[in-house]
Amino acid sequence: MNILVTGGAGFIGSHLSECLLFNGDNVTVLDNLSSGKVSNIPDKCNFILGDINDTELLAKVFEKVDLCYHLAAIPSVQKSIENWIACHNVNLVGTVNIFLASRVRAVPVVYASSAAVYGDTKVLPISETSNINPKSPYGLDKYYCELQAKAVADIYGAKTLGLRFFNVYGPRQDPHSSYSGVISIFVERIKYSKPLDVFGDGYQERDFIFIDDVVRALILAKDNVSNEAKIYNICTGSGCSVNFLIDTLFDVFEKKVAINYLNPRLEDVYKSIGSSKEAQKELGFKATYSLKDGLKALTRSL
């Protein structure tokens, strides 16, 4: 199968591209390298340096692919607040461009949504039918992407499937990037014996999911794309406080560093724990890595 991966030079996209190549697919990576790295792209990929807002380029690329994984984004709540319009143009407008390009040859699209669409939901665990209440432009744009997927399906019969990723971590997540997750930052700081900055009391909880599980979910998703514009949570179903995460990291590294507790950030959600029951039932997906196993795998890659 000829598969397009937008954002394939990034963290999740590069791992997915590796897996697709291993499975025997032909992979084309489309990335503008705004946050991804050429060094992340597997050698056997066909790499196109380009942007998802270049509609002429997308039209040409979609002439030659059978499936698209759309992962290109500016995946940062803080960035979406600081650079509202620029992030909107990538995260929403760029996604609409992908959907419209895909409809010409009816190319199925598996795209990345986010748990950020739920905002600070009080009822846990969060299911796909939970209230949608994004607290950031990033979360709002991701939700609008889901609505656009439904609109394109209703109007053109386009086939899409959205995955609401919770907190993904693993090798190649750049701790120096403004898009990086807390785990990649903490791992580097412990490695170099630097203190950890915690925004809030440390009892805020997240559903951390290892990259290998996310890639497996993406692979399973490609056989379930339809014109129903379905959406699934991709998570472990287990919450982990930041304080517990730190204790686990200290255990894995067999060392401790100082912790600085700072004022909470206004845009941060206090608890985000998902339910993956629908993904288990309809995609056959269930996360297999425990937090400790995932952290061990991450530290082995350093």
HSE at residue 118, side-chain half, CA atoms within 13 A, is 26
β-partners of residue 291 are none
* Catalytically annotated residue among 69, 111, 118, 138: 138
CA 25, CA 100: separation in Å to the nearest integer? Answer: 24
HSE at residue 109, side-chain half, CA atoms within 13 A, is 33
End-to-end CA distance of the chain: 33
Judge whether 141 and 151 are in contact, CB under 8 Å.
no
Report CA 73 to chain centroid distance, whole Å.
Answer: 9
Report the sign of the C-alpha dihedral through residues 105, 107, 113, 117, in that order.
positive
CA 274, CA 265: separation in Å to the nearest integer? Answer: 22
Please indicate whether residue 144 is annotated as part of the active site.
no
Helix axes 242-253, 291-300, angle to 10 degrees: 50
- Give the residue among 141, 159, 51 at the shortest CA–CA distance from 99: 159
Question: Cβ-count burial of 135 within 10 angstroms (0-12 exposed, 13-18 middle, 19+ buried)?
Answer: middle
CA 295, CA 179: separation in Å to the nearest integer? Answer: 19
- Give the residue among 92, 95, 215 at the shortest CA–CA distance from 165: 215
CA 250, CA 117: separation in Å to the nearest integer? Answer: 32
* DSSP symbols for 171-230: TT--TTSTT--HHHHHHHHHHTT-PEEEESSS--EE-EEEHHHHHHHHHHHTTS-BTT-E
Residues with a catalytic annotation lie at 138
